[in-house]
């Protein structure tokens, strides 16, 4: 059937799905997302210390998808017409990808401030999967 994320796989990372919980490498101090396996900076197979990020950051890159979506998001695309996806540099200095919400996805630009908010991500096998999306910070 192609790529597929099982429910147990989804549940293994709920703190990352909801709050982007980072891992600080005990060897080199680098923050990792997701903190899983070797450190992305020093390759050490150490354990990570959990770090709770603020959940805010700046847009580094953005795309607005209009034609085609992963099957998990096809109904969302049909309904909304677009899917905005950003790669955000969290204030802790780590890049994370996420969907835009609560805005016209064409409006936010590189450098704009965004914050995480819990949303319905998609539904599969009759179970709704929740996680974080990004919305513009209202000053």
Partner 1 sequence: MADVYVVGAAQTKFGAFPDESYRTLFTEAFESAVESVDGEFDTDSIDEAYVGTLGVGGRQLGLSGPAVTEHAGLDGTTCTRVENACASSGTALRLAVLAIRAGVADVALAGGFEVMTDMSADRTRYWLGVSGETEWGRMSGMTFAGVYAHMAHAHMSEYGTTREQLSRVAVKNHANGAMNPNAHLGFECSLEDAVNSTSVADPLNLYDCCPTSDGASAVLLANEDVASSLTDKPVRITGTGQASDRVGLFQRQTLSSIPATRDAAEAAYDDAGIGPDDIEFAEVHDCFSIAEIMAYEDLGFCDRGEGGQYLESGATERHGERPVNLSGGLKSKGHPIGATGTGQVVEVFHQLRGEAGQRQVGNLSCGLTHSVGGSGGAVAVHVFEEGWA
Helical (H) or strand (E) element with 89:
strand 83-90
Please report whether residue 13 would count as binding partner 1 according to CB under 8 A: yes
Among 14, 28, 42, 95, binds partner 1 (CB under 8 A): 95
- Examine residue 1 and tell whether it contacts partner 1 (CB under 8 A): yes
Residues 112 and 39: their CA atoms lie apart, in Å, by 29
Rule CB under 8 A: say whether 96 interacts with partner 1: yes
Closest approach, Cβ 48 to partner 1, in A, equals 15
What residues does 99 pair with on adjacent strands?
85
* CA nearest to 86, candidates 104, 113, 117, 60: 60
Could you tell me the two tokens for 108? 């936010």
Question: How far does Cα 102 stand from its chain's mean position?
Answer: 16
Q: Which of 43, 44, 61, 75 binds partner 1 (CB under 8 A)?
A: 61
CB of 23 to partner 1, least distance (A): 13
* Shortest distance (Å) from residue 51 CB to partner 1: 17
139 is written with which tokens? 């000053």
Binding segment toward partner 1, per CB under 8 A, in 21-29, 44-52, 59-67, 112-120: 59-67
Cα separation, 133 vs 31, in Å, equals: 20
Binding site for partner 1 (CB under 8 A): 1-5, 9, 13, 34, 40, 60-74, 76, 83, 85, 87, 95-99, 106, 110, 121, 131
């Amino acid at each position: 059937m192609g790529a597929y994320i099982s429910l147990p796989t989804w549940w293994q990372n709920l703190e990352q799905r909801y709050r982007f919980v980072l891992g600080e490498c005990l060897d080199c101090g680098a923050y990792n997302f997701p903190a899983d396996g070797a450190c992305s900076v020093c390759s050490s197979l150490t354990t990570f210390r959990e770090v709770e990020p603020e959940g805010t950051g700046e847009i580094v890159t953005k795309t607005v998808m209009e034609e085609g979506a992963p099957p998990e998001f096809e109904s969302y695309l049909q309904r909304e017409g677009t899917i905005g996806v950003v790669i955000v540099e969290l204030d802790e200095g780590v890049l994370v990808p996420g969907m835009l919400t609560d805005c016209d996805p064409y409006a936010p630009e590189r450098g704009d401030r965004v914050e995480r908010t819990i949303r319905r991500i998609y539904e599969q096998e009759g179970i709704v999967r929740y996680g974080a999306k990004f919305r513009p910070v209202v000053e």
